[in-house]
Amino acid sequence: MTKTRAFTARRPMRLALAIAAAPLVLALAACGDKADDAATALGEGPSAAPVAAVAAPAGTRWSEKIVKTDADGYLMGNPDAPIKLVEFASLTCPHCAEFYETAEKDLIETYVDSGRVSFEFRNFVRDPIDITAAMMTRCSAPESFFALTGQVFENQATMFQNVQAAGEPAYKAAMNAPMDKRFGQVAGMAGLTEFFAARGVSKDQAATCLANSAEAEKLAKGTETASSEYEITGTPTFLINNTKIDALSWPQVEAALQRAGAR
């Protein structure tokens, strides 16, 4: 793994404390330099036999089936799909936003809706802005999660601009606020309160979700666990059938899915 892809908070520490103390420059940092992240092993090794498509229940598509998982992620598609793709991603990672933009249509229409592949998204939180946005995407029913997550990625640049415009003093004040107020203040700075209100998450609903410090701790703990269990040092990171793959872009991930039999 190259140093340029390294996760900003790579050194061992309690992520919850890092999130509470992260300066603005860290919160707005990029997630790595993709120029040095070309996968080296995607063309090596034998391919699995092709996997047959699995029809969705009559009148439905597999991509309409979305459930929360035991790993605190959200799974789209056939829960019994023989090929299981997992993405660990940060909502403040530009490479993750790029993956969403390039992958969403093909991943859903060609792979998830075939019933061959399920897709699970697990938040890998890097900073207070990230954890605030993640909490808000989880504020509605599971069926809304992927749509809201995608819209946050599309709004990522504006979110950064809003926080930068608010300035360092406002950001520091938010970081010094009590935990039940902190993420609400970050949401206001980032324009996320209005953004989610326009998408069906009322301001009162958002305030309740963002005051839930236990949910913030759960997201932080999940990131710590994932980092330790899978040695994740950058985002996005992908698993296929619980094995980490050396891939960063959609063409690389698609190649790996096809080698796993999704063809």
Helix (H, G, I), strand (E, B) or coil at 196: helix
The two tokens of residue 241 are 């059938």
3-state class (DSSP) for residue 256: helix
Q: What is the pLDDT of residue 46?
A: 67
What domains are there in the chain, each with its CATH number?
A: 15-27+66-259 (3.40.30.10)
Average pLDDT per block of 10 residues along the chain, 263 residues long: 33 45 57 44 66 96 97 97 98 96 97 98 94 96 97 97 93 91 95 97 96 93 93 94 95 97 94
33-59 pLDDT per residue, tens:
443 333 334 445 568 999 999 999 999
Q: Give the angle 30-93-194 at the CA atoms, nearest 5°.
A: 115
- pLDDT per residue over 120-132, tens digit each? 999 999 999 999 9
pLDDT tens digits for range 205-220: 999 999 999 999 999 9
Cα–Cα distance, 241 to 256 (Å, whole number): 11
Which residues does 108 contact at the CB level (< 8 Å), separation at least 6?
63, 76, 119
What pTM value is reported for the model? Answer: 0.87
Tokens of 157: 């640049």
User: Closest Cα partner for 209 from 159, 163, 141, 162?
Assistant: 141
Cα 97 vs. chain centroid, distance in angstroms? 9
Residue 47 pLDDT = 85
**DSSP character for 62?**
G
Question: What are the pLDDT digits (tens) for 184-200?
Answer: 999 999 999 999 999 99
Output the six-digit token pair for 181. Answer: 């107020």
Q: How far apart are CA 153 and CA 195, in angstroms?
A: 12
Q: How far is CA 224 from CA 15, 31, 56, 124, 231, in A?
A: 7, 17, 35, 9, 10
